[in-house]
Amino acid sequence: MAGESAYYLCVNRNKRGMTVNLKTDEGREIICDLARQSGVLMENFRPGTLARFSLDFESVSAFNPNLIYCSIIGFGQTGPMRDQPGYDFMIQAMGGIMSVTSEPDGEPMKVGVAVADLFAGQKAVIAILAALQARTMTGKGQHLDISFFDSQLGWLANVASNFLISGNLPKRYGNAHANIVPYQSFAAPDG
């Protein structure tokens, strides 16, 4: 399509959008009307933002107790960094994945796609599916708290285990592996 970016189309496929001013009574009522008739609500404001507009989980679940309310933010709803913004590149660095991504003598590198964003989204889908199942048994919704940072930490898997067991800082191995051999690129006769 002329005038449309591939990135925009990728992240907005199958979505319908609208603009709502939460600072107006009319805007808040539009969101409340949508929440009354919805099974799942997803948001990514910093903690406390939607409470100022009476659109937080407690407020919305008062009139729709079946609602599954999913918050996806940088550092989660609780903890010392809850009010800090978070975006993928920063989360990859803080979460440690960049410390193991690159050639051994190279600079730390981010993964080529927004893995912290994507993995948090996948965790949100899994949590929503579990909450939907729970709702069929209990009739109640719930608040799901998904953190980009927490989600990205899961990517460290054996790297984190190696550090916790040995105390040795992880290294960059390029296409090689810290624990498994052979597990790297090899020159082959066909190029």
What is the sign, positive or negative, of the torsion defined by CA atoms of 97, 170, 109, 47? positive
105 is catalytic: no
Q: Which of 117, 145, 150, 190 is catalytic?
A: 117
Q: Residue 126 corresponds to which tokens in the numbers above?
A: 């899994």
Coil, strand or helix at 52: helix
Q: Where are any strands of DSSP class E within the chain?
A: 40-43, 68-73, 142-147
Exposed, middle or buried: residue 151 (CB in 10 Å: 0-12, 13-18, 19+)?
buried
Site of tokens 């009010």: 83
Contacts 24+ apart (CB under 8 A), 108-111: 108/172
What residues are annotated to the active site? 117
